[in-house]
Amino acid sequence: MKKILLIATGGTIASKQTEVGLIPSITSNEILEFVPDIKNLCEIKAIQLMNIDSSNMDYKGWLKISGCIEENYNDYDGFVITHGTDTLAYTASALSYLIQNSKKPIVLTGSQKSIYLKDTDARKNLYDAFIFACDDRANGVHIVFNSNIILGTRARKTKTHSYNAFDSIDYPVIGVIFNEKVVYYINEEINKPVQFFKKLNNKVNLIKLVPGIDSKILAFIGNASDVLIVEGFGTGGLPRYDEEDSLAKVVKELTLEGKIIVFSTSVPHEGSNIEVYQVGNEIKANLNILESYNMTTESLVCKLMWITSITKDRAQVENMFYTPIAHDVVF
């Protein structure tokens, strides 16, 4: 029987209603008591690493989770992390960079309703996560939610209330949990040794363009950042390219100061392609920027946090950025 470590971090799955709203307060051991059949799948140890609303999750929390997994890696066959849904995709992405080439499964799950309630998705999601964590073919970082197995770098929360809250963006789900078994659509093999990383650079910020945005806002955020992600319109572009106070002028000044500027798109699917239109073509030809292509926002942010904790050299950042990790970008 496999040994699985449950790492509880809080979130809706562990929440109880109070006068001021839901607050995470159910412990890791209490969570397991709501789904006693899990004990038939594996040997379990539970750690209450934190008990927070996932809105409060940040890079320090990601490093704490990764460190807990590294500390216990040799003693367990897999790991299940319970987590709030709001930043679950960010955490899955972050762990995909902090823990690379794991032959052991690292499975994140949560719920839209507390496990404390009768009409909840929590119990099934948790049971399914353990089914996947116990499967001999499972490896790497994934989210298990609503019976779907989603690669950590491709997940996004797309619904605020529905049980099918997460989608795999522009990449197939790895498989599904069906009749309490794992049905794979994609077989993943890992042939490299696991590698843990211990640092992230939190000076990565994102600005979403709106029509008529003041270039001073771009400059202000850019100056406070090592990396600035510019989320543009459609396939990608920068308005008012030739104006004196243009956004392009600010981008050029920021790159000359050594800032890394990455262009992305606010459109959820199919990614950027900024050379299609003149407003984007001029950027690619004249400004020293990177492009996100079909990476999710969550992976984009976390990958750049990981890369720039290692190096801020422009050429090295570009090389690492365009090197796929766990299918985070598909060319």
Q: Which residues are catalytic?
A: 12
Residue 67's identity, in one-letter code, is G
Among 280, 219, 228, CA closest to 250: 219
The region, left, alpha or beta by phi > 0 then psi within -120 to 50, assigned to residue 245 is alpha
Pairing of strands 99-100, 21-24: unpaired
DSSP bridge pairs for 177: 182
Long-range own/partner contacts, residues 183-186 (CB < 8 A, 24 or more apart): 184/137
Q: For the chain, how far is it from start to end, CA to CA, in angstroms?
A: 40
CB 249 within 8 A of CB 286: no
The rounded distance, in Å, linking the Cα atoms of 209 and 232 is 5
User: Which residues are CB-contacts of 237 (< 8 A; sequence separation ≥ 6)?
Assistant: 274, 277, 279, 280, 283
Burial grade of 60 (CB within 10 A; 0-12, 13-18, 19 or more): exposed
